[in-house]
Amino acid sequence: MKGGAIDMSKLDPILTKHEGQKEALISVLQEVQGEFGYVPEEAIERIADALKLFPSQVYGVVTFYSQFYLTPRGRNTIRVCRGTDCHVQRTTSLLAAIEQTLGIKEGETTDDLRFSLEPATCLGKCSLAPVIMVNRDYYGKIVPRELETILKRYE
Amino acid sequence: MEQITLSLNGSQVNGRPGTTILDLAQQNGIHIPTLCHDPHLIPIGACRVCLVENEATGALLASCVTPIAPGMVINTESPKVLEARRTVVELLLASHPDSCIICDKGNRCQLRKIASDLEIGQVRFGKTRHYYPIEDTNPFLERDLSKCILCGKCIRGCQELQGAWAIDYAYRGFDSKPATSLEVPLEQSPCEFCGLCVSLCPTGALYEKMRKYKGRETKRVRTICPFCGCGCGIYLELRDQEVIGVSADAENPVNKISLCVKGRYGYDFINHGDRLKKPLIRKNGELEEASWEEALDLVASKLEQIRGESGADSIACLSSAKSTNEENYLLQKFARAVIGTNNVDHCARLCHSVTVAGLAISFGSGAMTNSIAEIEDADVILITGSNTTETHPIIALRVRRAVMKGAKLIVIDPRKIDITKYATLWLSQNPGTDVAWLNGLMHIIIEEDLWDKDYVEKRTEKFEELRETVKKYTPDFVEGISGIPQDRLREAARIYASGERATILYSMGITQHTTGTDNVKSIANLAMLCGNVGIESGGVNPLRGQNNMQGACDMGALPNVLPGYQRLSDQEAAPKFEKAWGRRLPANSGLTVVETMRAAEEGKIRAMYIMGENPMISDPDLKHVEAALKKLDFLVVQDIFLTETAQLAHVVLPSVTFAEKDGTFTNTERRVQRIREAIDPIAEARPDWQIICQLASRMGYKMNYEHPSQIMEEIAKLTPSYGGIYYDRLEKEGLQWPCPNRDHPGTRYLHKDRFTRGLGLFQAVEYIPPAETPDEDYPYILSTGRVLYHYHAGSMSRRCQGLDEIYPESLAEINPSDAQELGVEDGEMVRIASRRGEVEVKAKVTERAPKGVVFMNFHFNEAAANILTNPALDPVGKIPEYKVCAVRMEKA
Ligand code: SF4
Ligand code: SF4
Ligand code: SF4
Ligand code: FES
Ligand code: FES
């Protein structure tokens, strides 16, 4: 498990508060994610039990909303734009370069939890295509060899 | 009721308000294609294949969700409809792989059928496919979600009907798909392999593994599942003489489109190579093949010889809760009229004899008071001593659905069995303390004034005795005995008493005790106290285990009663039978199963005739059973396989399975249903009823029946509760007894307005501890029972490939803290010993088992739980105490 053992007892206060409340699922998931930074797989069955839901329902909701994560998140999130303009400007090669440098695929997180890599549709800065975004910073019109310097800024 | 008139494809038609356009079209013989609709599921209107045009407005409507309205002008085939429908189907095909030719769904695929009906060849849209790996790690079904069209039927079936919720929609948009939690393979999810999703899936996304490459069936035969007392309706699907699949008989009110894993996938025992093909006779210590002539002659002459030497009562017959009513009737007739003894019993003795005894005294009739379908509409359900999900899967579905509709469920069981997941309240009592907590519930209900005074006064008697007896069962006192916390017991009492229609479901956890009869009486007391007997969806409902256990009892395969529970001493009944059968009947009651074994060991029983039972696995204290059977001068076993018992026989007669004969089974809700011959008998095997007739003739008693229907005619004449049961009436649907005459529609629930015995009788009982309680030498309690994937002594289910693969070996459930004390890890072997013997078995460490209790199933001869069990008997029902015996455990 990435990031070492997790302390599941942190779930208890959240679950006790919402015992038996099926409708509270989304807020419970938000609280759990707030506590752990993601929704740990082990939490799903316990959430289901506490809210009197079935695990498959909880999983369905977790995967439905892109705001919920089932794996720990990196401290920094890289988004590589897959919008049309950026695509024309070859963000795919950027993506490949990042994947190679970090040794992870889209949707994954590095073992040291430094970076998560996520797909993005148009990031809204098409005139700067190709665009990537790290946390809240935009980088436009970049080429693969600039990546190293950019990533160095994030610990 | 008022009708709505509208135009449908040019004709004026009428329909009831609320009818959908789709239903109306179907009622008028007009076909509209559908993909996401099934009449048993709540419609969602997702696929849009069922579009029709309302020409009055020009609107396209999804017919499966649109109710009819006055003035509609519906056209199901207008150019606009066809065009829209084509687009929908083409869009579906655009994301569908081109693998129709090799897809095993073949021409059962709805998508392919609709596409070809619409004459779609080329798809106009660019292909956007999903590639998912095929999931095929379980023995029953394969999932290839690249063929999924997201109709949601599998999910809705799994949730709405099965109540298992193994799968739900995951992700969204283009990535959406049905998935288990965390996308684990089905066998690691709550999936129960009921196969409903497969039968609903319109495409090849889900398909049956065992059916692959078997081709299409050539014939389907409507019959009844042989695996449990639910009695689900099934179709056997045949390719010539081979059963290649099973599907649900949607017309059968018991199960509709549902089945459990055994019913759906447990058919390969029928054509199994181990089936007995010829009679066997023991010669020089070995069983050797023989002709029917030789075998039957030998059995007849041996039985006559032993009767001549030691009298008729030195012979005993064991009938079978797996055989048909007709066969059970004939076997008891054979014992009574041909041999001349009442020594006939069957293994209901080991399961529900105390139900028959206890409820007969309380109510006058010892069967389920209500019907399976009614459970769904109960508002309170109390389940005790029944692992319903595993032993009566289809009844468990009704319970789950009732809960989904808002019913409150109380489960009182030592183990954290599956159904507790659905419970409002689960109480874990110490095994064998049922009378105590039942009296406790009644104490609270009386103390808090929650009982139904009007009912008690008008419909029952002897209430005062009950009130006196339960006085001392205060919640505090009961907690001391049962371990159930007082406030929880109070909560249970209040919930039960609050029900308008409260039903109690129980099974062997209540009956298999030395105090079984008392337990049953207490349950009857509780139900009457709250006015729950004789009403729809209420009642006292003993769930009978085997497919025809109810019927075998009804047919008088019992040592103390004649068919229909008519007493041997009954001044009218006995002469009626003597006249019909042309023989004087023995007057003294015969021996019960366990008593027979004891008598055999003592040499008092010299010969036994066993039809389709396997006491070498199913009876308590197997060492003594073995000694008893070995001591017999003559043992005849009639069965489909060479069972552990058959291996000890002098003569083995090969009989046929349910698929090779006609007859009837009576399910647990008293429903008499037809089974039908689907294939010819395998090799030289013969139906039990024919064998009995042939043997009777050889012993000088003519039994002339050409067909089981003639046997049923005789039964109907002699048995008042079956008086109206004739084969011609059973063609469409079964009949529930009592059904006294040809015009009677059968009885859905008993004791309406009046108990069978007149007034309901309260029978106050005191708590008595189990015969064997844990002590220093044997500190744990052993309890036994069944698992979902197997049936009875395992001779059928263990020969079904899928069932054996998913549950291949016996497992003993042990609580984690006990396991830790013993130093045993999950999956390690433990040695379990009682005063009677010991077995080694693999441990399953689980919270399901409470501390101090180990649970074993009895399906496996390698780890036969019944080597350990205690043959101590209930004094009235003579049931052995399977549910409690003291054992010690150690790491093996
Ligand atoms: S087999 Fe039954 S329990 Fe399993 S997923 Fe399908 S419907 Fe659900
Ligand atoms: S797997 Fe079959 S039943 Fe389930 S959603 Fe897909 S197509 Fe429908
Ligand atoms: S519930 Fe019982 S009768 Fe129904 S399919 Fe399963 S085993 Fe057969
Ligand atoms: S397409 Fe990349 S920012 Fe718009
Ligand atoms: S069948 Fe009507 S929308 Fe699918």
Label residues B429-465 b or e (16+ Cβ within 10 Å = b).
bbbbbbbbbbbbbbbbbbeeeebbeebbeebbeebee
- List the single residue in B with minimal CA-CA distance to A50: B421
Give ∠ CA B532-B535-B537 in degrees, rounded to 5.
90
Q: How confident is the model at residue B830 (pLDDT cuts 50, 70, 90)?
A: very high
Query: Which of B24, B41, B64, B89 to mutate for ligand 5's pocket (most ligand atoms within 8 Å of CB)?
Result: B64
Q: From the CA of B398, how far away is ligand 3's center (Å)?
A: 13
Long-range CB pairs of B477-480 (<8 Å, 24+ gap) are B477/B440, B478/B436, B478/B437, B478/B439, B478/B440, B478/B443
Cα of B234 from ligand 3 centre, angstroms: 9
Q: What is the pLDDT of residues B134-167, one digit of tens each?
A: 888 888 999 999 889 899 999 999 999 999 999 9
pLDDT for B396: 95
Residue nearest to atom 3 of ligand 5 (CA): B45
Q: Give the pLDDT confidence score for residue B710 in this predicted structure.
A: 94
Chain B nearest CA to A78, separation (Å): 22
Q: Does A20 lie in the same domain as A84? A: no
Question: Ligand 2 centre and the CA of B330: distance in Å?
Answer: 49
Query: Is residue B672, in this structure, part of any structural domain at all?
Result: yes
Same-domain check for residues B685 and B704 = yes
Rounded CA separation B515/B527 (Å): 19
Residue B519 lies in a domain: yes
Distance between Cα B51 and ligand 5 center (Å): 8
Q: pLDDT class for B680, splitting at 50, 70, 90?
A: very high
Same domain, B447 and B409: yes
* Domain end among A42, A64, A86: A64
Structural domain range at position B870: 780-891
Same domain, B147 and B208: yes
Whether the predicted pLDDT of B736 surpasses 50: yes
The answer, yes or no, to whether any atom of ligand 3 lies below 6 A from the CB of B395, is no
Please write the tens of the pLDDT for every residue from B253-299.
999 999 999 999 989 898 888 999 999 999 998 999 999 999 999 99
Judged against a pLDDT cut of 90, whether residue B126 lies above it is answered with no
Q: Are residues A60 and A80 in the same domain?
A: no
Selection from A72-81, B193-202, B785-794 with the highest mean pLDDT: B193-202
Rounded to a whole number, what is the distance in Å from the CA of A60 to chain B's nearest CA?
Answer: 4
Q: Decide whether any atom of ligand 1 lies within 6 Å of the B197 Cβ.
A: yes
The count of structural domains within chain B is: 5
Please count the other Cβ atoms lying within 10 Å of the Cβ belonging to residue B702: 8
Confidence band, pLDDT 50/70/90 cuts, at residue B468: very high
Query: Could you tell me if B501 and B562 lie in one domain?
Result: no
Q: How far is the CA of A120 from the centre of ligand 4 (A)?
A: 9
Q: A88 in a domain, yes or no?
A: yes
Ligand nearest to the CA of B180: 1
Q: What is the pLDDT of residue B502?
A: 95
Where among B508, B542, B576 does a domain terminate?
A: B542
Q: Are B213 and B254 members of one domain?
A: yes
Residue A140 and residue A83 share a domain: yes
% of chain B surpassing 70 pLDDT: 99
- Alpha helix ranges (H) inside B405-462: 434-447, 453-459
Each residue's pLDDT tens digit, B183-200: 899 998 999 999 999 999
Q: Which of B108, B134, B148 to mutate to test the pocket of ligand 2 (most atoms within 8 A of CB)?
A: B148
B364-394 pLDDT, tens digit per residue, is: 888 899 999 999 999 999 999 998 998 899 9
CATH of residue B160's domain is 3.30.70.20
Q: Which of these ranges, A27-36, A63-72, B70-79, has the smallest mean pLDDT?
A: A63-72
Whether residue A53 is found in the same domain as residue A32 = yes
Instruction: Please count the other Cβ atoms lying within 10 Å of the Cβ belonging to residue B713.
Output: 15
Does the residue A69 lie in any domain? no
State how far residue A143 is from chain B, nearest Cα, in angstroms: 31
- Inform me whether the C-beta atom of residue A119 falls under 8 Å from chain B C-beta atoms: no
Q: Is the CB of B658 under 6 A from ligand 1?
A: no
| CB pairs < 8 Å spanning A and B | 45
Q: Does residue A4 lie in a domain region?
A: no
Q: Which atom of ligand 2 is nearest to the CA of B155?
A: 4
Determine the residue of chain A that is closest to B177 in CA distance.
A60
Whether residues B394 and B509 fall in one domain:
yes
For residue B311, the model assigns a pLDDT of 92
A2 pLDDT band, cuts 50/70/90, is very low
Query: Among the listed ranges B184-198, B440-454, B473-487, B769-783, which one has the minimum average pLDDT value?
Result: B769-783
Q: What is the pTM of this model?
A: 0.89
Please, which pLDDT band fits residue B310 given cuts at 50, 70 and 90?
very high
Q: List the domain range (segments joined by +) for residue A81.
A: 76-152
* Residue to mutate (ligand 1; options B136, B191, B206, B265; most atoms within 8 A of CB): B191
Q: A85 and A60, same structural domain?
A: no
Ligand of minimum distance to the alpha carbon of B61: 5
- Ligand 1 neighbour B157 (Cβ under 6 A): yes
B234 and B360 co-located in one domain: no
Same domain, B618 and B585: yes
Question: What pLDDT score was predicted for residue B216?
Answer: 80
Residue nearest to atom 1 of ligand 5 (CA): B34
Ligand having the closest approach to the CA of B196: 1
Ligand 5 pocket: which of B47, B66, B153 to mutate (most atoms within 8 A of CB): B47
Q: Which of B42, B60, B77 represents a domain boundary (last residue)?
A: B77
Question: What confidence score (pLDDT) does residue B424 get?
Answer: 93
Domain assignment of residue B789, yes or no = yes
Closest residue of chain B to A53, computed from CA coordinates? B165
pLDDT at B689: 94
Residue A70 falls inside a structural domain: no
CB atoms A60 and B190 under 8 Å: no
The CATH number linked to A110 is 3.40.30.10
Residue A97, ligand 4, Cβ within 6 A = no
Average pLDDT of span B538-556: 91
Q: Is residue B652 part of a domain?
A: yes
Contact B592, B559 (CB under 8 A): yes
By the 8 A CB rule, do B662 and B223 touch?
no
Task: Give the closest-approach CA distance of A13 to chain B in angstroms.
Answer: 22
Judge if A122 and A54 occupy the same domain: no
Residues A136-145: what's their mean pLDDT? 86
Which residues of B touch chain A, with CB atoms under 8 Å apart?
Answer: 165-172, 179-183, 189-190
Which residues, judged by CB distance below 6 Å to any ligand atom, belong to the binding site of ligand 2? Answer: B 148-154, 178, 200-203, 205-206
Q: How many CA atoms lie within 13 A of A73 on its CB side?
A: 16
A3 pLDDT more than 60: no
- Are A56 and A83 contained in the same domain? no
Q: Which ligand is nearest to the CA of A126?
A: 4
Min distance B176 CA to chain A CA atoms (Å): 8
Instruction: Check CB contact of A64 with chain B, cutoff 8 Å.
Output: yes
Co-location of B258 and B331 in the same domain: no
Contact B170 A58 (CB under 8 A): no
Q: Does A107 touch chain B (CB under 8 A)?
A: no
Ligand 4 proximity of A129 Cβ (cutoff 6 Å): yes
Report yes or no: B220 and B248 within 8 Å, Cβ to Cβ: no
Which residues of chain A neighbour B183 with C-beta distances below 8 Å?
59
For tokens 């007859």, name the residue: B663
- Residue A76's DSSP bridge partners are A115
Model confidence at B877, pLDDT cuts 50, 70, 90, reads confident
8 Å CB contact between B841 and B868: no
How many domains does chain A contain in total?
2
Tens digit of pLDDT for each residue in B7-53?
Answer: 999 999 999 999 999 999 999 999 999 999 999 999 998 889 999 99
Domain assignment present for A24:
yes
Domain boundary among A22, A41, A64: A64
Q: Assess if residue A1 is contained within a domain.
A: no
- Same domain, yes or no: B290 and B380: no
Contact criterion met (CB < 8 Å) for B190 and A55: yes
Distance CA B825, CA B818 (A): 10
pLDDT value for B115: 87
CB B241 within 8 A of CB B680: yes
Which chain A positions have a beta carbon within 8 Å of B180's beta carbon? 56, 59
- Band (pLDDT 50/70/90 cuts) for residue B171 is confident
Domain boundary among B77, B100, B135: B77
Same domain, A38 and A99: no
B13 and B139, same domain (yes or no): no
Q: Minimal CA–CA distance to B651: which of B301, B280, B306, B274? A: B280
Residue B834 bridge partners (DSSP):
B837
- Whether residues B190 and A58 touch (CB distance < 8 A) is answered with no
Q: Report the pLDDT value the prediction gives residue B122, as an integer from 0 to 100.
A: 67
Asked whether the predicted pLDDT for residue A101 surpasses 50, the reply is yes
Residues B690 and B614 in one domain: yes
Strands B425-427, B837-845: pairing is unpaired
- The verdict on A81 and A144 lying in the same domain is yes
Considering only CA atoms, which of B445, B360, B401 is closest in space to residue B721? B360
Contact B179 A59 (CB under 8 A): yes
Mean pLDDT, chain B, as a whole number? 90
Within-domain flag for B314 = yes
Residue B48 belongs to domain with CATH number: 3.10.20.740
The answer to whether the CB atoms of A63 and B165 lie below 8 A apart is: no
User: Whose CA is closest to atom 4 on ligand 1?
Assistant: B191
Query: What CATH number is given to the structural domain containing B403?
Result: 3.40.228.10
**What is the DSSP annotation of B838-862?**
EEEEEEEE-TTSPTTEEEEES--ST
What pLDDT is attached to residue A82?
A: 82
Asked whether the beta carbons of residue A59 and residue B181 sit closer than 8 angstroms, the reply is yes
